[in-house]
């Protein structure tokens, strides 16, 4: 596009099959490409079907994955455009037949055309194509913000619960946990000994508690129930009052 000879390599002249100016120019945006790939690897899994390992150990990219990579080509073309045009200007400045009125074309960034129309040439931010969110378990496409599909989420949740239970059992055997448990048992024992059924209101009988109050407690948070002691406090919690 700029009249540069891709066969005139500079940086990779000592590397077979890479002694090309095109390879040299691409080095300028390598950090951007590496950052995109690294973010992809850290945030999303890769499907096994995207790769094929040959007998000699080399790994080849399958067509389905190559198609995804080609979707980013436009982004890198826009990123490398200013670099290629800068190189063209530097080489143009060394020629003896150059004139001030004739400058290298800017077919990649259209800078000359924008300047002729008094349009700002400030480059816009480059947005790489969205990476498809895949399930960490089976590789199925899922909604953004989720790590697993509904099927795999069951297995991972079970594993997390088992691990949490294991950690909880270990923590419960510590001296601090045993001291807290003993203190709680002491408070509960005192509360049970201080409670007198005869002190309850006449209307608050055992039958009323089991038939009207206890079923309503199923809809109350455990923390709220735990903070109240006695039938009367629990009756007030569910909104049952004597007539």
Q: Classify the C-alpha dihedral 36-37-43-48 as positive or negative.
A: positive
Q: How far apart are CA 119 and CA 19, in angstroms?
A: 38
What percentage of residues in the chain have a pLDDT greater than 90? Answer: 2
Q: Does residue 210 surpass a pLDDT of 80?
A: yes
What percentage of residues in the chain have a pLDDT greater than 70? Answer: 77
Question: pLDDT higher for 227 or 104?
Answer: 227
The total number of residues written for the chain in this structure? 243
Is residue 98 one of the residues assigned to a domain?
A: yes
Nearest to 114 by CA among 99, 124, 126: 124
Question: pLDDT higher for 33 or 130?
Answer: 33
Q: For residue range 6-55, what is the model confidence (pLDDT) as tens digits? A: 666 666 666 666 667 777 888 888 898 898 889 888 888 888 888 998 89
Q: How far apart are CA 189 and CA 145, in angstroms?
A: 47
Is residue 108 one of the residues assigned to a domain?
A: yes
Cα separations in angstroms, 211 against 1, 118, 215, 234: 85, 83, 7, 13
Is residue 153 one of the residues assigned to a domain?
A: no
Is residue 93 one of the residues assigned to a domain?
A: yes
pTM over 0.75: no
Is residue 97 one of the residues assigned to a domain?
A: yes
Is residue 101 one of the residues assigned to a domain?
A: yes
Q: Does residue 133 surpass a pLDDT of 70?
A: yes
Domain of residue 57 covers: 21-116
Query: Residues with Cβ < 8 Å from 52, sequence gap 6 or more?
Result: 59, 60, 61, 62
Specify burial of residue 107 (Cβ count, 10 A radius: 0-12, 13-18, 19+): middle
Residue 119 has a pLDDT of 64
Evaluate whether 231 touches 213 at the Cβ level (below 8 Å): yes
Q: How many independent structural domains does the chain possess?
A: 1
Mean local confidence (pLDDT), 203-213: 84
Q: Residue 52 pairs with which residues in a beta bridge?
A: 60
Q: Does residue 156 surpass a pLDDT of 70?
A: yes
Nearest to 1 by CA among 31, 34, 25: 25
Chain position carrying tokens 């004139």: 99
Question: pLDDT higher for 63 or 103?
Answer: 63
Q: For residue range 78-127, what is the model confidence (pLDDT) as tens digits? A: 888 888 888 777 777 777 665 555 667 777 676 666 666 666 655 555 66
Cα separations in angstroms, 99 against 73, 102, 104, 229, 237: 34, 5, 10, 95, 90
* Region of poorest pLDDT, from 56-70, 84-98, 160-174, 214-228: 84-98
DSSP class of residue 200 equals S
Is residue 10 one of the residues assigned to a domain?
A: no
């Amino acid at each position: 596009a700029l009249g540069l000879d891709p066969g005139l390599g500079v940086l990779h002249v000592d590397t077979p099959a890479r002694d090309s100016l095109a390879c040299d120019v691409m080095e300028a945006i390598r950090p951007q490409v590496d950052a995109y790939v690294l973010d992809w690897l850290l945030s999303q899994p890769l499907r096994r079907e995207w790769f094929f390992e040959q007998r000699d150990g080399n790994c080849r990219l399958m067509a389905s994955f190559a198609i995804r990579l080609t979707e980013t080509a436009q982004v890198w073309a826009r990123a490398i455009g200013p670099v290629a045009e800068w190189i063209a200007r530097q080489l143009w400045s060394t020629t003896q037949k150059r004139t001030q009125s004739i400058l290298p074309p800017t077919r990649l960034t259209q800078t000359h055309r924008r300047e002729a129309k008094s349009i700002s040439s400030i480059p816009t931010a480059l947005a790489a194509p969205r990476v498809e969110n895949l399930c960490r378990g089976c590789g199925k496409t899922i909604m953004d913000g989720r790590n697993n599909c509904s099927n795999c989420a069951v297995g991972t949740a079970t594993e997390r619960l088992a691990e949490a239970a294991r950690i909880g059992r270990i923590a419960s055997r510590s001296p601090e946990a045993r001291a807290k448990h003993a203190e709680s048992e002491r408070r509960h024992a005192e509360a049970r000994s201080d409670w007198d059924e005869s002190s309850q209101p006449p209307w608050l009988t055992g039958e009323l508690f089991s038939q009207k109050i206890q079923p309503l407690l199923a809809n109350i948070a455990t923390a709220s129930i735990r903070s109240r002691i006695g039938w009367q406090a629990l009756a007030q919690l569910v909104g049952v009052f004597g007539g």
